Amino acid sequence: MLFNSFRFLAFLPVVLAGYWWVFRGRTARLAFLLLASYVFYMSWNPKLISLLILSTLIDYFAVVAMGKTDNPRVRRGLLGLSLVFNLGMLALFKYTNFFLQDAIGPALHVLGWSGRLPHYDIILPLGISFYTFETLSYVIDCYYRKTEPFSSLLDYAFFISFFPHLIAGPIIRPRQFLPQIQKLRDLVDGDVTIGFGYFLLGLIKKAVVADRLSVYVDALFAAPAGHGRWELWAAVLAYAAQIYCDFSGYTDMAIGVARLFGFRLPVNFRTPYLSRNVAEFWRRWHISLSSWLRDYLYIPLRGLADGEKSVYTALFATMFLGGLWHGANWTFVAWGAYHGLLLMAHRLVNRWRFWKPAAELAPSVAREIVSRAFVFLLVCVGWTLFRAPTIATAASMLGRMLLLSPSGPSAAVPPHVLALIALVFVYDAIAYAGESRGADFEGRIAALPAPLRTAVFAAGLFVLITFIPTASRPFIYFQF
């Protein structure tokens, strides 16, 4: 049941009507919405709901048991139980075949073994990478007494399973959501307006931009050998726009749907392609994941040792594991390692005393443009690793793109591809300008006079109806 499907557009009004007008009282509303969330999840594979429920029960009762003792050994044991179960399930479902076929198998072959390790038909539970991080953050925060435990199993199950963020985030923290569950909001016009605006924006990003670009991107990445240097660059730029609109489109829709029920989810993207350095990019791209990696991986790893060397080690290890989190393929690992190296280089360059005075010699406008363009170029090199089916394919593409190997002639890039790429940057430039003045998307929509806001929504619906493809595609991050 995709957000961009007719099934969901039929499902959502029924759930909204039940939540606002049929069920009364906090407990009844949360129970109804939890049941609707389970129905939403089971629309993909009913059997896998058991894993979500089991994870919910284990972590909830682990925290309940923690609250009944001050014995450090018992508390560590309960934390260990949660970590082993959740990370074990994630490893089992997501990485079993990867480790057997792509890590252990090749290592054994190097040692002279000629056999074959088994390959298992394992279905990846939808959203497991996201809800695992949410359950872990809850247990870890409660272990360190950084957050208040949920008062009931219903509240905690709702926090984990609320369907707008269940499949692909944003990854929310208990302290962000607990106050909203404790006191449910009343239905107000502002939430409906903002929620509809976010959903419409996200649907346009996904259906009009990302899905249309995916046709061109898929064709070139499937057979890059037959295309020239400039076609490959066009494909990578198109993929940069595609994955941005696909994923930010999903989170915009998730924010919008949650807002229709009176809940606020955190913004997950803030014009990342206009970042001035790689560290800023990760403060603007997939914000809920990057902040999770910072708090639960980087900071603990950084604390294992003193000195500057430990900072670089923690940076690289965090991004390496972040790449592996994205998928069971060496391309994702390479992408994570690449960004780890970029962050290490960024920190190292910033420590060179001669760098800042030299950089300040350039005019401020030119410096801003060049730095943003350079960072975007670096990010696109990373997207080549991320999207290519194999490391060898990515290396071949990058060799031709970066003038390291010969390339044949390039065919003309379809005009609509160039137009959609340009549209993404124009939109982000407008959003960035508004952000610089302290006006985010919600603020800009709320500030519009009602007639103008209605006209904007009508124009958005017209664009959607006119340009939406006949077949919807799954969201890219559903595979993670």
The larger pLDDT score, comparing residue 7 to residue 438, is at 7
The larger pLDDT score, comparing residue 474 to residue 270, is at 270
Closest CA to 260 of 162, 328, 175, 341: 162
Tens of pLDDT, residue by residue over 183-208, are: 999 988 889 999 999 999 999 999 99
Question: What pLDDT does residue 77 have?
Answer: 97
> For residue 361, what pLDDT band results from cuts at 50, 70 and 90?
low
Q: What percent of the chain has pLDDT over 90?
A: 71
Question: What pLDDT does residue 163 have?
Answer: 96
**Which residues have C-beta within 8 Å of that of residue 130, sequence separation ≥ 6?**
165, 166, 167, 168, 169, 171
Residue 111 burial (CB < 10 Å; 0-12/13-18/19+)?
A: exposed
The larger pLDDT score, comparing residue 226 to residue 81, is at 81
pTM: 0.93
Question: What pLDDT does residue 360 have?
Answer: 58
Question: What pLDDT does residue 368 have?
Answer: 84
105 in Cβ contact with 117 (< 8 Å): yes
For residues 222 and 240, give the distance between their C-alpha atoms in angstroms, rounded to a whole number.
Answer: 16
Residue 97 burial (CB < 10 Å; 0-12/13-18/19+)?
A: middle
Question: What pLDDT does residue 358 have?
Answer: 53
Question: What pLDDT does residue 149 have?
Answer: 94
- For the chain, the average pLDDT equals 91
Question: What pLDDT does residue 357 have?
Answer: 56
Question: What pLDDT does residue 226 have?
Answer: 82
Question: What pLDDT does residue 392 have?
Answer: 94
What is the DSSP track for 303-320? TTS-SHHHHHHHHHHHHH
Q: Once rounded to an integer, what is the mean pLDDT over residues 237-262?
A: 97
Q: Once rounded to an integer, what is the mean pLDDT over residues 167-182?
A: 92
Q: For residue 275, is pLDDT > 70? A: yes
Q: For residue 343, is pLDDT > 70? A: yes
Please identify which of the residues 165, 227, 286, 326 carries the catalytic annotation.
326
* H or E element in which residue 12 lies: helix 6-17
Q: Once rounded to an integer, what is the mean pLDDT over residues 16-28?
A: 95
Q: Once rounded to an integer, what is the mean pLDDT over residues 218-226?
A: 90
Tens of pLDDT, residue by residue over 395-427, are: 999 998 988 777 777 788 899 999 999 999 999
Q: Once rounded to an integer, what is the mean pLDDT over residues 359-386?
A: 86
Question: What pLDDT does residue 66 have?
Answer: 96
Question: What pLDDT does residue 364 have?
Answer: 78
Question: What pLDDT does residue 473 have?
Answer: 83
- Residue found by looking up tokens 């998730």 in the block: 254
> For residue 476, what pLDDT band results from cuts at 50, 70 and 90?
confident
> For residue 306, what pLDDT band results from cuts at 50, 70 and 90?
confident
**Which residues have C-beta within 8 Å of that of residue 82, sequence separation ≥ 6?**
58, 59, 62, 135, 136, 139
Q: For residue 36, is pLDDT > 90? A: yes
Question: What pLDDT does residue 434 have?
Answer: 82
Q: For residue 355, is pLDDT > 80? A: no
> For residue 354, what pLDDT band results from cuts at 50, 70 and 90?
low
> For residue 262, what pLDDT band results from cuts at 50, 70 and 90?
very high
119 is catalytic: no
Question: What is the DSSP-derived secondary structure letter of residue 448?
Answer: S
